[in-house]
Every structure is written in C-alpha cells, then in structure tokens.
Homo-oligomer: A and B are copies of this chain.
C-alpha cells in the first residue's frame, strides 16, 4: 500500500509563495528558528512548540520528495554539501541527467512528467508519503493530474503584492477541499486540507 501525496508550503494571505526575485525570506521567517528546520540543516538547538511539531511531522511522514527543476537550480548552492532532505528527491526536468548524490540526499531527474515522477517517488517512499516541495507549477500539475491528496498551507500574515502565486495557473473548474486541521501561531496560521476527489 502506498502513501499519500501532499504539499506543505508557506503562502502570504495574497497567495504568494515567493516575492520578487524568488525571495522567500519573509514567508519562511517563521521557520528559520525552529529546531526541526535547524536539525535538517545540521544546526544545533532551535525553538520547539506547535510550529516545530508541524515541521517535524511533514519531515517524518515523507519518504520521498518531488520538486521542480527551477526550485532545484535556485536552491542547490544554498543547500551546500548536505541538503536538508536526507531522503530520495525526484526533480521534474526536461532533459535526462545522471542522478546527483549530495550527502544523504540523492537527486534523481525525471523527464517524463509529473505522473512518472510521483510514481518513482511513491516507490522510493514505500509506506511513507510523498511530499511535493514546490514550486507552484509542480503543485499545480499534481492538482490538475488529480494526484494531490492533501495540501497544508502556512498562511503568513503579510500581503506580498508581487511574485509567484501558488495557484495562479489552475484555470480548471472548482476543486473542492476539506479542511482537516487549523493551527494558529503568532504570525502564521496553518491550514490543512484534503483534496476531495
């Protein structure tokens, strides 16, 4: 039995997951001091509490990660020698390429589209779930393909005004959701939804 496919992402109230020039600092501000985030990045200590529990949960349940090529390109250098995944990552791309091993993370490049990427990630994840890390386009593709089971949106209390919107290219008929959890924290409200199929 395979797990669920979920996305877990920070979004401003006006729907942006990145500002101009792909900047995410304001949107990820609530994350940087958390123990879970710091541990994944090889850093000591950090804050615990409800925000940290949510991050831990998302990290632990994911047996594999799917992401877009643009996100990979932007983040590879900042990630350094030990990227924060510590599990198989499948990068959706247009050209075939050899896998890249960085510390405990292996990046496999998938040129055959979102379905194939999710299939490979699912196999690698075993009984665990598959996390779609982003960007917006990959999450939209999974939604359109009817393959997204769950989305957790961390609504950050800010209006960014410009940048990359999480849902801007959906253009399909309505997709019903069911809210399954709300967690309120200073500066961010965590909303979890199941995609109704």
A residues with a Cβ closer than 8 A to B are 13-15, 19, 26, 143, 153, 155, 157-162, 165-167, 170-179, 182, 184, 186-187, 189, 191, 193
Contact = CB atoms under 8 A, between A and B. Distances in A.
A179 B174 contact: no
A157 B150 CA distance: 12
Contacts of A177: 13, 157-159
Given A13-B167, A166-B14, A175 B189 contact: no
Given A14-B15, A182-B184, A184-B179, A174 B153 contact: no
Contacts of A165: 15
A171 to B, nearest CB: 6
Copies in the complex: 2
B161 A191 contact: no
A165 B12 CA distance: 14
A41 to B, nearest CB: 25
A143 B159 contact: yes
Given A15-B15, A15-B165, A191-B189, A158 B171 contact: no
12 contacts: A14-B166, A14-B170, A15-B15, A15-B165, A155-B155, A157-B176, A158-B174, A161-B175, A162-B170, A162-B171, A179-B186, A179-B189
CB-based closest 8 A-B pairs = A14-B167, A157-B177, A161-B170, A159-B175, A15-B15, A182-B184, A161-B172, A157-B179
